[in-house]
Amino acid sequence: MRYALGIEYDGSDYLGWQRLSEGSTVQAAVEQALSFVAHHPVQVVCSGRTDAGVHARCQVIHFDSEAVRTDRAWVLGTNTQLPRDVRVLWCKTMPDDFHARYSARARRYRYTILNRNIPPAMQRHFLSWERLPLDADAMHEAAQAIRGEQDFTTFRTVKCQAKHPNRDLHDISVQRHGEEVIVEVQANAFLHHMVRNIVGSLIVIGRGEKPVGWMAELLALKDRTKAAPTAPAEGLVFLGAKYPSEWQLPAQVTL
Cα distances from 179 to residues 16, 130, 135, 190, in angstroms, run 28, 10, 12, 28
**What is the distance between the alpha carbons of residues 154 and 156, in angstroms, rounded to a whole number?**
6
Does the annotation mark 51 as catalytic? yes
**What is the distance between the alpha carbons of residues 172 and 46, in angstroms, rounded to a whole number?**
23
Q: Of these residues, 10, 13, 51, 64, which one is catalytic?
A: 51
Cross-strand pairs, 175: 182
The length of the chain, given as a count of residues: 255
**What is the distance between the alpha carbons of residues 10 and 156, in angstroms, rounded to a whole number?**
24
CB 212 within 8 A of CB 144: no
Secondary structure of 81-146 in HEC code, one letter for each residue: HCCCCEEEEEEEEECCCCCCCCCCCEEEEEEEEEECCCCCCCCHHHCEEECCCCCHHHHHHHHHHH
Q: Which residues contact 173 (CB under 8 A, 6 or more apart)?
A: 140, 143, 183, 184, 185
Q: Which residues does the annotation mark as catalytic?
A: 51
